[in-house]
Each structure stands twice: as structure tokens, then as C-alpha cells.
Amino acid sequence: MQIIEVAEREEGQRLDRYLEKYMSRAPKSFFYKMLRKKNITLNGKKAAGMERLKKGDQITLFLAAETIEKFRGSPKEVWEPSALSGNGKKKEKIGLDIVYEDEELLLLNKPAGMLSQRARKEDVSLVEYLIDYVMTEEEQEKMTFRPGICNRLDRNTTGLVVAGKTAKSLQYLNRLFRERNLEKYYLCLVRGKISESADIDGYLQKDEKHNRVQITKEMQEGAARIATAYEPLAVTVWRGQEYTLLKVHLITGKSHQIRAHLKSIGHPIVGDTKYGEKNLYHLFKREFGVRHQLLHAWRMRFGQPDYLPEKYHGKTFTAELPKCFREVLDGLGIGSRL
């Protein structure tokens, strides 16, 4: 027999989902069979598996230690923040740029070059740094819950990433993003002059093999409808070429949407090697050391849905521009426009 007490961070999970993570090698049918036979109980009573767990709840496993060990296996691998070097690991401690933090959520200012989530097992992403920051090693070993992020930015896009520190906060934050009950604003520097604000739409189709998207005006099979709005904040001329600093309202939020959408209307983002212009990239790399697209997730405003705690209703968060982006704007004479 084994008794598990639910920790505060784990509160809000369904019992069956909790069990699936705790004994990840067991088939789902095993849990429902054990629940029916009262070999697994919640607070001493028979449970169906759909119950939402609360802090202090006790889950009792009337199972042999060998059975638990077989289905649980070794603890899931938890990566320490590290930078891979050759075939080994070289630890690299970094300080997270925290925009806002309380007991439930965390907003981070992601730097360029960092993955939001792992694409491969050997990757180290923002999620691994987040887990290491929020949880002790003992918590990582014992708990089924892991802090997680609710929005993803491209590796070389900087700015706001929202993370849930508890199972309950992850649920309502993910719903907030899924239902688009928030406003997301980006800053970017584009080639060309844009004089007026506009709302643009279209259809986005992703090429998974080459990790690129294509924007069309007409609906294509497998394409998704997208909507982007922008407002020019400043226009300047540098080295005989016009540039515009844009505030972009990301309405739909698809992969590479802003980069590809602006390119499709003739205004590629400076520093973008995938959708931008090579000569523009090399110019800004040489003059300012720019090695990534000047696209920054700048500001976020939460909505006021009933499921979101009232203390977050209408709350606005802002992430400072990275040093490189700021230096480019200063060099072009428009840094004071923000």
C-alpha cells in the first residue's frame, strides 16, 4: 500500500490524469479497473477518476510495491539548465528576465536564440529553465506536475512568454490563449514606409517539411485564416532606405504569422533570414551586430472571462526591448519614439 498526498501545485488536475503521470507505464484501462475495485481510492472513498484534486487530498494505492515500481519506472528525466558541448553537458546558469511573478503565474522576457520548448530530446529550452527556477530538485522528483508555458515564440523572436506555476493556473491560462481572451502586441522594424494603420487578413499554409509558411489571399486546402493589425510608430530614412517601426496586434496567432504576413505585403522584418532579405540581414549584422529578426513580443493585456481570477482582469504586462533592438532604433534616430 502507498499513500500519496496532493501538493498545492498539483491541485486542479483530474485524478485519472494524475495517475497516468504518476504511473506512466501503466495502460489507462488499469487505472479504471483499480478504481472500480477500490484498489485505488481518493480520501478513503471510491472514485471514478474524473474528480478534481485539491491540496491535501490523499490517494491510496492498494497495490504491491513491485506493481507500483513496474508501472512507475525510474523518475522522468528532468533537465538541468545546460548548454550541450560535444557529447557531454556543460552547465550554463542564466538569470531569467522576469517581467511579473506571483504564486500562480510567471511572465518572462525570452531572449533571442532560446527555444520556447524542446524540439528534440537533447534540446534545452525555456521550459527546462522554468522548471529549474520554480521547483526544487525534491519537488521535481516527487511531483507529477511540471510548470509549463502557454504561448510559444520562435527561437529568434524575443519577448513575453506566459507560464503557469500550478496545475490550476495552467488550465485557466491555456484556456485564455485558446479562446483568445487577451490582446497581444509586438514591435518590429520593417523595410519600407508604412504611413497608416491597417488590418490585414489572409490564409496561412504551413510546409512542415521545410518549417516555412505561405500566405495567400484565397483559401487553400489545409490553410488557416489569419488576421493581423498594425500601427506605424515611426518612419525613418537610413542609408537611402526607408524603415518603419511597427506596433503589431496579433489577432489570430499562427506559426510565423507576423513575419510571413508582413513579407507578403512587401515589408519584410529586418534581420529575418527566413522571410526577409539577405542583403538587409548582412547590412544590419555588419553595422549593428544584428543576428536575428527584430521582432519582439512587447505587450499583453488579459481579458475578463469568468474563469480567470479577478485580480488578473484587464491586467497589462510589458517586456522591455532587448539591447540589440534598442541600439538599432537609436542608430536610426527613432529610439525616442517609444
For the chain, the residue count is 338
Task: Give the DSSP per-residue string, 219-261.
Answer: --TT-EEEEEEEEEEEEEEETTEEEEEEEEEESS--TTHHHHH
**Cα–Cα distance between 280 and 258 in angstroms, integer?**
18
Active site residue 154: yes
Q: Count Cβ atoms below 10 Å from residue 210 Cβ, excluding itself.
A: 8
Strands 58-61 and 40-42: antiparallel
| CA–CA distances in Å: residue 210 to residues 1, 206, 214, 253, 336 | 51, 9, 11, 20, 39
Q: Is 286 exposed, middle or buried (0-12, 13-18, 19+ CB in 10 A)?
A: exposed
Catalytic residue of the set 57, 154, 201, 272:
154
Tell me the CA distances in angstroms from 53 to 12, 18, 58, one per residue in order.
5, 9, 9
Return the active site residues: 154
